[in-house]
Amino acid sequence: MEPLPRTTRPEGTRPFHALGADDVLRQFGSGLSGLDETEARLRLERYGRNELAPAQRRGPLRRLIGQFNNILLYVMMGAAVVTASLEHWLDTGVLLAAIVINAIIGFIQEGKAETALDAIRTMLAPHALVIRGGRRYEIKAAALVPGDVVVLNPGDRVPADLRLIAAKELRIDEAALTGESLPVDKSVAPVPNNATPADQSCMAFSGTVCVQGQASGVIVATGATTELGQINRMLAGIQRAATPLIQQINKFSYWLALVILALGALTFLFGTLVRDLPPSDMFMMVVAMVASAIPEGLPVVLTVTLALGVQRMARQKAVVRRLAAVETLGSVTVICTDKTGTLTRNEMTVERIVCAGRVVEVSGVGYMPAGAFFVDGRQIGAGSDPVLAQAIRAGVLCNDAALRKADEHWFVEGDPTEGALLVLGHKAGLTPDALSSAWPRVDSLPFESVNRYMATHHVGPDERPWIFAKGAPERILELCDSQSDLAGTAALDVDYWRRMATDLAARGLRLLAIAEKPAEPDGPLMADADLGGHFTMLALVGIVDLPREEAIRSVRDCHAAGISVKMITGDHADTARAIGAQLSIGMGKPSLTGSEIALMDTGTLQRVVSDVDIFARASPEHKLRLVQALQLNGHTVAMTGDGVNDAPALKRADVGVAMGLKGTEAAKDAADLILADDNFATIVVAVREGRAVYDNVKKFMLFMLPTNGGEALLIIAALIFGLTLPLTAVQVLWINMATASTLGLALAFEPAERNIMRRRPRPPAASLFPLFFVWRIVYVSFLMMGVALALFLWEIDNGASLSAARTMAVNTVVFSEMFYLICSRYITESVLSLEGLTGNRYVLFAIAASIVLQVLYTHASFMQRIFGSSSLSPMDWSKVIAASFLVFLAAELEKAVVRGIQERDPVLLPSKGIP
């Protein structure tokens, strides 16, 4: 999607972030005193209000009517008309209920999806502090115009896209827009032309939040032309595609309806023209046969199966917002995931400490204050290494964060990297409270982006003054002229520290250097001059947001299941590659950055996207393009995200997955699935459930089609061979009513099979019915037809009445379906085990209910009057059960043959597509 033209930037000029602040002010005809009111009113008329226009929506009635525009629902409505014309009101009621339930669910979910645009609009600031005519005052943010000068203070939401013209210690939380996990330091210095939004340090973007410092900036874009506005535009232009299963079922239903109608017409013509049967009788028989063959139970089972999947996922902390997404998860071939908080814990952890002459490794993960220290694999006590203890003590004292515990959960208030130093202190037995008492703080210099260090002044236990400093390694090294080692104090080895800093950075670690000097400020308050030198270098600290242990396992499970995992993050490429290596993502493969993606056309990106698993510094447009490129390559894509910048990609993906804990409302409303625990492992659980849903739908269809086919073949065979019809029209409808609502529905409750995550994903274009399934349907259909017709003819030949023979035929068909229902629990595996025979209690309940119905059908006098049935003797019942049991044995024998073929010749009959 092309970006929206920037109407505020003259064509052919450099982007605002590449220009100096004075140049941008001149370009807008503005200055430090801002615009005057007259010019502001003129610009408001020219550029419009600083707000996002509401999306055009269909009214509630149109949305409700649109839910019925579905081939499957057309088939169901046709079946409802047929059953109503025959006055079979129970069938009609079930069909209409399924139609209404499907429509209501679709109506509600569509309404929820539209709120994603509302969620983005709520991110706009309601008010802003503007400078006009040299005077500061607060106005509604919607009245801001390009060229206005806006003032930012801590806690302010940025009201429009600003080019900063003055900034002091400004840090902005851009996580919702760029995906950057930590607040970003801002300055007024221009950056290169091709810098991505995440690297435009001289810009402040609409919807982001100022967390520290003060600044002023000139507005360069408002409303729809802001970065936030472009995301809103992308989101509004994205249409959801139908899920793979719904597409397949729509196509299947269309062709099945044509086949059923054609078969009905041929049967009618054959019966009336060839067999000279009365047209009225044949019409009723064909209507009954057509009604029984239409898969009206499919939408009910599909809805119930999806709903059960939703319940199971909810118990695993995956909240489904769109019902059809449950099934789509089962066909996912690629998962595009954020890094921070999803694959990682979003808890910074000190992993390595470099002292002079040695490297100390630290165990423990996250903010839990438990761990140990190791040198060359040997555990040491922090107190046994005086330099290590000095460094940890300095890191705890030169610190403004706080470590808290609530409900057995540890968390940090303040900067996460400072929190990691506090956790390190706890591991060494140096708690902040104890150190603060022994080393009281006198004064401090807060971190400034210009200096890139923080310093504190303390009084030691011996009343000596000390200054501790921590910050960027290159800045701290400039302050040092010595280093502390086990032998005492030595001259600073700059090359050693730079070499070790490079090594830690290559491991994807964030670096802090810690130093100290026994001195006090020259004046009553600390100043930058007090840090002029003579510090002693203590240590380099390597901090990382470690991967979740369960995420490592889940990525491995994804690879075993044939699912590719791609990391798309706003972090730097080195950090992303280091975390990817620990997760086995992108090993031995190149990575791409957002700026490189921007230079690729669609065709190039489509060619390379499958070979790259790590994408760093990605913008919203890049994420959307990556999803589209993967889909063009035939992949079914699940996309995770938490920020408003992720909303377009979440909506465009086949399954959008939002974070429940740290996710913005815009991301949640655009997503199909919300992770209540922000955990990648939960996605894998959801994929497993999605595969189970698809399995259960296919099991139902493999059960339903042969049973319906057996009934139709029973009638057709009798007509072809000139036999007495073994079933009447009303008896055909009874079989359909008694089994469709009881037996088949039990398969919706089937648990996932053990090998479900060892299969490859089904290709999105794969047929709903491969040749193997077609064979199974034909085979079982003829089995059921054969045993029922054989028993019917046997009874007629032995002098049984026509009503008794037909009653036995009806019972044989229904009991055959009961036995075949048990077989259908596993598609190729044998059910001849305790688990196979009794593992799904709903199957047993359904069989018991069907038995009760058949006893009533056979022996209740009112049922005999309605359906023309007659009572059966115990011997007759034994014949029915024996004949039906033959279907069970023959079906299990066929499975054994199939398994043998798979083992001997996997090319002829591959098992990867068959449960």
- Enumerate the active-site residues: 338
Residue 442 backbone phi and psi in degrees, to 5:
-100, -45
> E strand or H helix at 444, and its extent?
strand 441-445
Which value, in Å, is the radius of gyration of the alpha carbons in the chain? 36
Residues 762/913, Cβ–Cβ less than 8 Å: yes
Half-sphere exposure of 727 (CA within 13 A, CB side): 31
The DSSP 8-state label assigned to residue 528 in this structure reads G
Report how far residue 659's alpha carbon sits from residue 317's, in angstroms, rounded to the nearest whole number: 11
Is the torsion defined by CA of 621, 622, 628, 632 positive or negative?
Answer: positive
Give the amino acid at 380: I
Report how far residue 728's alpha carbon sits from residue 715's, in angstroms, rounded to the nearest whole number: 9
Report how far residue 308's alpha carbon sits from residue 311's, in angstroms, rounded to the nearest whole number: 5
Q: Is 554 left (phi over 0), alpha (psi -120 to 50) or beta?
A: alpha
Q: Is 839 left (phi over 0), alpha (psi -120 to 50) or beta?
A: alpha
Report how far residue 622's alpha carbon sits from residue 649's, in angstroms, rounded to the nearest whole number: 9
3-state helix/strand/coil string of 164-185: EEEEEEEEEECHHHHCCCCCEE
3-state class of 486 per DSSP?
Answer: coil
Q: What is the dihedral of CA 269, 272, 277, 280, to 10 degrees?
A: 80
User: Closest by alpha carbon to 478, among 452, 502, 440, 445?
Assistant: 452
Residues 695/671, Cβ–Cβ less than 8 Å: no
User: Closest by alpha carbon to 249, among 821, 693, 751, 736?
Assistant: 693
Burial 436-446 (b: 16+ CB within 10 A, else e): eeebeebbbbe
User: Closest by alpha carbon to 639, among 713, 535, 718, 564?
Assistant: 564
Residues 178/5, Cβ–Cβ less than 8 Å: no
Burial 656-689 (b: 16+ CB within 10 A, else e): bbbbbebbbbbbbbbbbbbbeebbbbbbbbbbbb
Report how far residue 160's alpha carbon sits from residue 142's, in angstroms, rounded to the nearest whole number: 9
Residues 691/756, Cβ–Cβ less than 8 Å: yes
Report how far residue 288's alpha carbon sits from residue 293's, in angstroms, rounded to the nearest whole number: 9
User: Closest by alpha carbon to 414, among 446, 391, 442?
Assistant: 446
User: Closest by alpha carbon to 214, among 167, 175, 150?
Assistant: 167
Q: Token pair of 580, please? A: 């990817």
Residues 909/828, Cβ–Cβ less than 8 Å: no
Give the amino acid at 386: P
User: Closest by alpha carbon to 443, among 433, 458, 464?
Assistant: 458
> E strand or H helix at 798, and its extent?
none
Alpha helices in 599-728 (DSSP H): 602-608, 620-632, 647-652, 665-670, 680-720
What beta strand segments (E) does 222-316 contain?
none
